[in-house]
Amino acid sequence: MTFEREKIKKIEEVIKNSLRNKFSTYTPESNNMPFHYRLLGKDRMALFSFIHSLNTTFGTSIFEPVAETIAQINFFEAERQFIVGEEISERAQVEIQHIINELAVGSREPDKEEEIRRIKRVCLQGKINKIKTVKIDLFIKKKDGTIFLFDIKTAKPNISNFKDFKRTLLEWIAIYLLKLGNSNLNINSFIAIPYNPYEPKPYERWTLRGMLDLDNELMVAEEFWDFLGGKGTYNELLNCFEKVGIEMRKEIDEYFSKFR
């Protein structure tokens, strides 16, 4: 898909506004680093600190609003930081724990379709437990009612957390089905990784094997962005980021010059 000029402009504005919002709320670390300052200059150290801060918040401050904007253009409904619900059935919690246990000991391979069927059978049954309000990074709904729930992760998620990731993806489904009181809804949940840090080599999907259904629970780089906006969206988006970087270079330089 090739974005129309007005759509490209909208995405570029989202990137610009996201970066400016980060500028307005950013405060450099107050640690005294006299040797670094004298060697590199306070402005360069401020830039380094800003980049580090931006890396840790890139998902919420830039990737989420950009993903929401692209999805809103192409889907019936799209919303970031969507409240999926505040309750879950105890039967669903028990079933999810069974699934996690089976995967952890390797008694079966991940199969998201079968796992969702198992959750659907029990999600409206038994005691209902109140839980902390659950928000998801990106909620998408198609015209036919199909639901997609995305957890946008950093490019290199911590391997030790994969079991928690899996539990989160399954619980989201149980929580949302209970919220709607509809166990027949067509729904899925995914881990989305916005870019491949190993490029041009393939993403090291093997690190996720055993816990995630790689075909039905994971989208990396082009898979994610092209799902949101159609084929070619990933490359179009890279061009948008490059163009914004060029246009804002003077503004960025002026911002960091005040730290000299």
178 and 238 in a single domain? The answer is no
100 and 141 in a single domain? The answer is yes
Q: Shortest CA distance to 146 belongs to which of 122, 182, 115? A: 182
Range of the domain at 97: 77-228
7 and 67 in a single domain? The answer is yes
221 and 139 in a single domain? The answer is yes
8 and 105 in a single domain? The answer is no
134 and 178 in a single domain? The answer is yes
3-state helix, strand, coil in the chain (%, to 5): 55, 15, 25
- Give the DSSP H or E segment for 55: helix 42-58
206 and 238 in a single domain? The answer is no
53 and 92 in a single domain? The answer is no
145 and 68 in a single domain? The answer is no
The model's pTM is 0.86
pLDDT along the chain (260 residues), means of 10: 75 88 73 70 74 71 90 95 96 96 91 97 96 95 97 75 89 97 95 88 76 92 95 93 91 75
131 and 215 in a single domain? The answer is yes
9 and 39 in a single domain? The answer is yes
168 and 245 in a single domain? The answer is no
Q: Write the CA distances from 217 to 6, 55, 220, integer angstroms.
A: 32, 24, 10
Residue 166, domain CATH: 3.40.1560
Number of domains in the chain: 2
pLDDT of the residue at 109: 93
Kindly state the tokens that stand for 6. 């007005």
pLDDT of the residue at 19: 84
Phi, psi of 206 (to 5 degrees): -55, -25
pLDDT of the residue at 28: 66
